[in-house]
Structure 1
């Protein structure tokens, strides 16, 4: 059952194409109109170094996203078990579900907000003396996890299995109907936020920053406010259901401004 009625309002979904379906279905089921506008592209990064790292034995392997799981599995040798680890950690529920789908359930998943900070707060990672840890992520990901685990005594390696980019898209059709169709915007990463600003350009900046924005991480909220966004709503979690609940609050704000 939907937490609210979105009353036909329009919500911009900026996730990559292959990750937008779940949220769009929830928006439509709640009486809203999901407008797909991918502001991030994800591509495989085929490096032999990452393939070799994935074939080694590890005390802990940490996956930062569902994409990390999918692209790591694609790199693995199909003739052997694709993970050799005493413990598998996932940043959140979506990543845990991706691991389950590939036959290797996560051993550690935070119960709070799905961020690296929550994973680092797990008691199992408090002391890492001498443990071999592999972090599976995208190219140029955050360094917090690796830095913190090294401070705790771990020997950390990083396998970068995908890269993120900014799609080339003409924003004019979207901007032409922005005031009629877009009442709230969702962004699920800081890079998506910056890409969206770049895609919309000078012509769309004011419209964007004056539209209510839903984010899933406090650091993204802070970035958005620093960039001039007027109304930023922080979802309680990164799940589609939590984003929808935040859109209900965002939608109330948008309806009041009509």
Structure 2
């Protein structure tokens, strides 16, 4: 029997709609750590697992599944490319009087944002930033962000709830 496991709720819904099948998804969180906590992934002797992902990325999921006895293959279905922006454009856009919060959906997007910050760095670091997990929250804090809010998921509903919390605290 084959099972399909999605890393987040949005992906799970998309796959379920496309394939008309049941998709297993972590109850809380939308990262490799949350997927690894799923009961179906604890005993994996002689199991074959395919991970659909972009080129590159974290190795934690595959490494842990292999430690648990699975044979793991990657199916790379997209390529991540950083969008090129001029730092001056970012500084104008990210002035504290222009935006109330920043959202990032991964450690990689946080890293890209941090790489763009230059002269506007201090003002941008004061803007609340919403992240999808404790791991990315730690990365945001290490990057110098002062107000880090963990949405506990990269899906739209989790991000919106986190933004609502920021807005409620601003009043």
- Provide the TM-score with structure 1 as the length reference: 0.61
2-structure distance, mates of 1:121, 1:245: 24
Query: Per-residue deviation at 1:103?
Result: 2.0
Aligned to 1:99: 15
Aligned pair partner of 1:149 in 28, 47, 65: 65
Query: Per-residue deviation at 1:125?
Result: 1.4
Q: Which has the higher contact order (CA 8 A, sep 6+)?
A: 1
Q: Residue 151 of structure 2 contacts residue 161 of structure 2 at CA under 8 Å; is this kept in 1? A: yes
List aligned pairs for 1:108-123, cutoff 5 A.
Answer: 108-123=24-39
In the alignment, structure 1 segments of 5+ residues that lack a partner are 1-58, 60-85
Aligned to 2:53: 137
List aligned pairs for 1:19-168, cutoff 5 A.
Answer: 86-168=2-84
1-structure distance, mates of 2:24, 2:96: 44
Secondary structure of 2:73's counterpart equals strand
Structure 1 or 2, whichever has the larger Rg, is 1
In the alignment, is residue 194 of structure 1 matched against residue 108 of structure 2? no
What is the Cα-based RMSD across aligned positions, in Å? 1.9
Q: Number of matched residues? A: 170
In the alignment, structure 2 segments of 5+ residues that lack a partner are none
Q: Which has the higher strand share?
A: 1
Structure 1: which 4+ aligned runs deviate by more than 6 Å? none
Aligned pair partner of 1:182 in 99, 123, 129: 99
